[in-house]
Every structure is written in structure tokens, then in C-alpha cells.
């Protein structure tokens, strides 16, 4: 698969492109409390990882690693992105791993209401690149537009690059957050982005 993408040829021409010195973010939505990447599953040191969710807010040091909160999907995505053996960027210096609901509600679309005035106050993160291999299951036009608006505004405000997975199913609908304009949507013609 890496040969088909041109990755192997790129690595030969530019072996220095390992992600060295970069911080990446990986919000995950696997259901329940499972969102964490297991450092050992991707061959990376546990010191690289920081975990954030609704009870462990960004900027507070984050949550401790817990095997009961590991997501198999998160591990698979992580192995492709920054896994020590097969990852495109095995040299990353830090991984910010978020629960996806927390990431959207408390980072990207964060608002503050004072009196009758609500103000958008997004939270800046250290990661300039955010990989999101999940979709919003609400496919109403209003939700897709709202989610896309906040992601586009965040990308514009902070210069963040969002890489979003398309729906694994067939069909022509582009679910949020892949529906945003200022990001990259990844998928295959058969509907599978895995």
C-alpha cells in the first residue's frame, strides 16, 4: 500500500522526513471511554503521549494511560501515522490523544456565554497537524454545516491542518468533519478509508 501512495519513493528521496520535532494530535471516537493509543502497540515511548478528555482537560497535564481505555481503532490509525515500524512519521516528539467529543466541544467549538452573549473561544493546541479518522453520525444538513463551520474557523484561526477520514460505508454523503473546506479528506473510491 505504501508503494501505491508513493510513500516508499518519497522516503528514498527524502529520508529526513520522519516527523522529527513535530507534535501531532489524534482525536478518537470509538464509543464509551475507549479513545487512547497504547504506546507499546505502536512501538513508541509512553513519555510521548498525553491524553485529554472531559475529566482531564487540555493544559492540565492530561489523564494517565489506562489499558481499559485503549481503542483498537486508535492503535491502527496511530501505527500508520507515527508507528515506529510502519508509520509515516515515526520521529514525532509528542502525541496529543483526545477523546473526540471532548476535542470538538471543548477545543474546536468551545464557546463561553456571559449573560445573553455567547462567544466562540477555541482552545489553541500544540499540534499543527490533527488526524481524525472518525465521522459525526448525525447526517442532517444543519449539523454538517455547523461542525464544518467550527472546524473551518479553527483551521483558519490557528493554521491547523485537519486530515479527516471519510465514511467507511458506500454512498455520496460526506460526513462531518470531512465536510470541512479547509482540511484534507481521505478515503478510497469504494468508501473505505482504512
pLDDT tens across the length of the chain (194 residues): 667 778 788 888 988 889 999 999 999 987 778 999 999 999 999 999 999 999 999 999 899 999 999 999 999 999 999 999 888 899 999 999 999 999 999 999 999 999 999 999 999 999 999 999 888 988 899 999 999 999 999 999 999 999 998 876 666 778 899 999 999 988 765 555 44
Predicted confidence at residue 194, as pLDDT, reads 47
Task: Examine residue 63 and state whether it is found in any structural domain, yes or no.
Answer: yes
Predicted confidence at residue 190, as pLDDT, reads 59
Task: Examine residue 187 and state whether it is found in any structural domain, yes or no.
Answer: no
Task: Examine residue 123 and state whether it is found in any structural domain, yes or no.
Answer: yes
Please return the burial class of 81, using the count of CB atoms within 10 Å of its CB with bins 0-12, 13-18 and 19+. buried
Domain span at residue 121 reads: 2-134
Predicted structure pTM score: 0.91
CA distance 129 to 66: 25
Predicted confidence at residue 188, as pLDDT, reads 67
Dihedral angle over CA of 46, 70, 165, 147, nearest 10: -100
Residue that has been written with the C-alpha cell 461542525 in this structure: 147
Query: Structural domain tally of the chain?
Result: 1
Angle at 35 between CA 30 and CA 36, to 5 degrees: 145
Q: What DSSP designation does 118 have?
A: E
Task: Examine residue 27 and state whether it is found in any structural domain, yes or no.
Answer: yes
Amino acid at each position: 500500500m505504501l508503494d501505491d501512495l508513493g510513500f516508499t519513493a518519497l522516503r528514498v528521496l527524502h529520508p529526513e522526513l520522519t516527523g522529527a520535532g513535530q507534535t501531532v494530535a489524534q482525536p478518537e471516537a470509538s464509543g464509551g471511554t475507549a479513545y487512547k493509543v497504547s504506546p507499546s502497540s505502536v512501538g513508541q515511548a509512553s513519555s510521548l503521549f498525553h491524553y485529554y478528555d472531559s475529566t482531564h482537560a487540555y493544559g492540565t497535564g492530561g489523564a494517565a494511560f489506562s489499558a481499559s481505555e485503549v481503542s483498537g481503532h486508535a492503535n491502527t490509525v496511530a501505527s500508520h501515522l507515527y508507528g515506529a515500524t510502519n508509520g509515516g512519521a515515526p520521529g514525532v516528539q509528542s502525541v496529543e490523544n483526545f477523546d473526540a467529543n471532548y476535542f470538538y466541544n471543548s477545543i474546536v467549538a468551545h464557546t463561553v456565554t456571559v449573560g445573553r452573549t455567547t462567544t466562540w473561544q477555541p482552545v489553541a493546541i500544540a499540534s499543527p497537524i490533527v488526524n481524525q479518522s472518525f465521522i459525526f453520525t448525525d447526517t442532517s444538513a444543519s449539523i454538517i454545516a455547523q461542525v464544518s463551520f467550527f472546524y473551518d474557523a479553527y483551521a483558519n484561526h490557528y493554521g491547523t491542518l485537519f486530515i479527516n477520514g471519510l465514511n467507511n460505508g458506500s454512498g455520496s454523503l460526506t460526513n462531518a468533519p470531512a465536510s470541512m473546506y479547509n482540511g484534507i479528506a481521505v478515503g478510497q473510491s469504494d468508501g473505505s478509508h482504512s
